[in-house]
Amino acid sequence: MKLSVVIPVYNENKSILKILKKVQSVNINKEIIVIDDYSTDGTREILKDIENSKENDKSTTYVLSDSNSHLKIDNIKIIFQEKNSGKGAALKKGFKEVSGDVIVVQDADLEYNPEEYYKLIEPINENWADVVYGSRFLGGPHRVLYFWHYVANRFLTLFSNMLTNINLSDMETCYKMFRKEVLEDINIREGRFGFEPEITAKVAKGNWRIYEVPISYYGRTYEEGKKINWKDGIKAVWCIIRYGIFG
């Protein structure tokens, strides 16, 4: 099967090339779809430089800043949003461009390790699952960070489970992998981080086979660039109610 890796990006100039290189190093037949959500920190310029290398120089590799390594770029497609619209909007755009049999969401902030695609895709390869979530709470190694973030994540997952009648341990995880036909049946409406409860509710209502696997988690602090905040938590509660009850 071919894997489509969809990467929404906003202001990740320090990590974008690193995450692309990590994704490329995974030995799976794949394509990479990058959606820049109107970055203003130089990320957009880095991605435009990659795009120019493909179009003008007809290159298949991009020389990284250390000049001793290269990034394969012939299977990378880059989309530039005309305004900042949020993670959900970027993913909706990216999902329309995929050609793979299986799609996975990958954040650009280095909190999640692409080497764990092998874990995520196994239940799909074995025909046990249509959707696989990578759970940060099932025993994988993780960086110790904010207590109240942990509480909020567990509460949102519990509340989502109550309305969807499924027993996930980590609804808010970035790592969500889908068979292509699952996403073909879903219309994403949320623009920001409301994507997580929305997609979970719609997958549950679709009666797709859902599995979880433990993953590692290398969380970062706000000083290191973390973006989600308490307002997103309140919006997530509303989205759980909206999509869990009203669809």
pTM of the predicted structure, to 2 decimals: 0.93
CATH of the domain at 77: 3.90.550.10
**Model confidence at 67: pLDDT above 70:** no
The pLDDT assigned to 64 comes to: 81
Residue 7 maps to a domain = yes
Residue 228 lies in a domain: no
Is the separation of the CB atoms in 128 and 36 below 8 Å?
Answer: no
The alpha carbon of residue 119 and the mean position of all alpha carbons in its chain are separated, in whole angstroms, by 16
State the average pLDDT for the chain.
93
Q: Which residues contact 84 (CB under 8 A, 6 or more apart)?
A: 10, 37, 38
Cβ atoms of residues 5 and 30 within 8 Å = yes
What share of the chain has pLDDT > 90, as a percent? 76
In a domain, 56, yes or no: yes
pLDDT in tens, 129-143: 999 999 999 988 888
| Residue 155 falls inside a structural domain | no
Is 232 or 198 the better-scoring residue by pLDDT? Answer: 198
* Residue 116: per-residue pLDDT: 97
In the 8-state DSSP scheme, what is residue 246?
I
Helices (H) and strands (E) in the chain, counts: 8, 9
CA atoms within 13 A on the CB side of 187: 2
Predicted pLDDT at 66? 64
Is residue 239 in a domain? no
Distance between CA atoms of 242 and 46, rounded to whole angstroms?
Answer: 38
Total domains in the chain come to 1
Question: pLDDT tens digit string along 164-188?
Answer: 999 999 999 999 999 999 999 899 9
Please report how the helices 230-241 and 147-164 are oriented relative to each other, as an axis angle in degrees rounded to 10: 10
Say if 48 falls within a structural domain. yes
- 198 within a domain of the structure (yes/no): no
What pLDDT band is residue 54 in, cutting at 50, 70 and 90? confident
Range of the domain at 60: 3-145+173-193+209-223
